[in-house]
Amino acid sequence: MSHRILLLGAPGAGKGTQSGKLADEYGIEHVTTGDALRANKDMETEYGTPRSFMEAGELVPDPVVNEIVEAALADADGFVLDGYPRNPDQAEFLSEITDLDAVILLDVADEVLVDRLTGRRVCDDCGANYHVDFQPPEREGVCDECGGELIQRDDDTEETARERLEVFYENTEPVIEHFRETGDLVEIDGEAPPDEVFSRIRDVIED
Ligand code: AMP
C-alpha cells in the first residue's frame, strides 16, 4: 500500500528527522521543499533567486515551490511531505494535485523550537541532523553517519529563527486550522524523545 503523508509543524519541530525515518520505514519519497530550495538557492526565477527569501526567513514565492512539489509528487508512488504547504494557497494547490492518507502535526512549544534551531547542526554531505547539546555527534563537527562536515544553516541564527516562527504563525497556522476543521489532523507531542514520536506517527499511519 502506498502512503501519502503530510507532516506539519513549526521550524524545528522535527519534521525533517521524522520524515527521514518514515521514508526509510515505508520506502516512500521524502519530499522537502526546504532541501530542494537549499540545493537551488541561486536558481534564477522571475521573482529573483530563493536565497534572498531564505536568508531573511521569508517564504519563497508560491509558484516556485508549487512547481517543485508538483514535479516531485508526479514521480512518487508514496511520499512524506515536509515543509509544504506553508500557506493556504499552497494547501489549495496541493489538494488539486493529490489526496492525502494522513495529516500529522508535531506540536512543540516556542522556546523549545528556538533552542532546537539555534543549536542545530546539519551534515553538509548527507543532511543528517544533530544538536550541540541534545544530540551531539561522537566527534565535534563530524557526521556520525558519513564523516561529512557539520555546518550551521544560515537561517538557524536566533534572529532568523524567530522570524521564521513569526512567518509560521502568520502563514502556516491557518493551514493547520483548516486540517483541524476537516477532522483530518492528528496531533502528536513533538517534545517526546524522537523514537517515541516516530512510534506514535507509525501508529497513526497504520491505524
Ligand atoms: P525549511 O528547511 O523547511 O525550514 O525551509 C527553509 C526555508 O526555505 C524557509 O524558511 C523558506 O524560506 C523556504 N521554504 C521552504 N519550504 C517552503 C514553502 N513551502 N514555501 C515557501 N518557502 C519555503
In a domain, 177, yes or no: yes
Q: Of residues 75 and 97, which shows the higher confidence score?
A: 97
Site of grid cell 512524506: 80
In a domain, 47, yes or no: no
In a domain, 171, yes or no: yes
Q: How confident is residue 1, by pLDDT bands cut at 50, 70 and 90?
A: low
Contacts 24+ apart (CB under 8 A), 19-26: 19/80, 19/82, 20/127, 21/198, 22/80, 22/198, 22/201, 22/205, 23/80, 25/202, 26/78, 26/205
In a domain, 127, yes or no: no
Cα 37 to averaged position of ligand 1 atoms, centre (Å):
7
- Does the Cβ of 14 fall within 6 Å of ligand 1? no
Question: Domain range for residue 181?
Answer: 4-28+77-109+158-206
Task: Cite the active site residues.
Answer: 15, 86, 120, 153, 164
Q: Which atom of ligand 1 is least distant from the CA of 38?
A: 8
In a domain, 143, yes or no: no
Q: Which atom of ligand 1 is least distant from the CA of 61?
A: 21
What pTM was estimated for this model as a whole?
Answer: 0.94
In a domain, 182, yes or no: yes
Q: Which atom of ligand 1 is least distant from the CA of 85?
A: 19
Domain CATH number, residue 16: 3.40.50.300
- Does the Cβ of 54 fall within 6 Å of ligand 1? yes
In a domain, 34, yes or no: no
Percent of the chain with pLDDT over 70: 100
In a domain, 134, yes or no: no
The pLDDT score that the predictor gives to residue 207 is 84
- Does the Cβ of 86 fall within 6 Å of ligand 1? yes
Cα 11 to averaged position of ligand 1 atoms, centre (Å):
9
- Please state, rounded to an integer, the average pLDDT across all residues of the chain: 96
Total tally of structural domains belonging to the chain: 1
Per-residue pLDDT of 97-145, as tens digits, reads 999 999 999 999 999 999 999 999 999 999 889 999 999 999 999 999 9
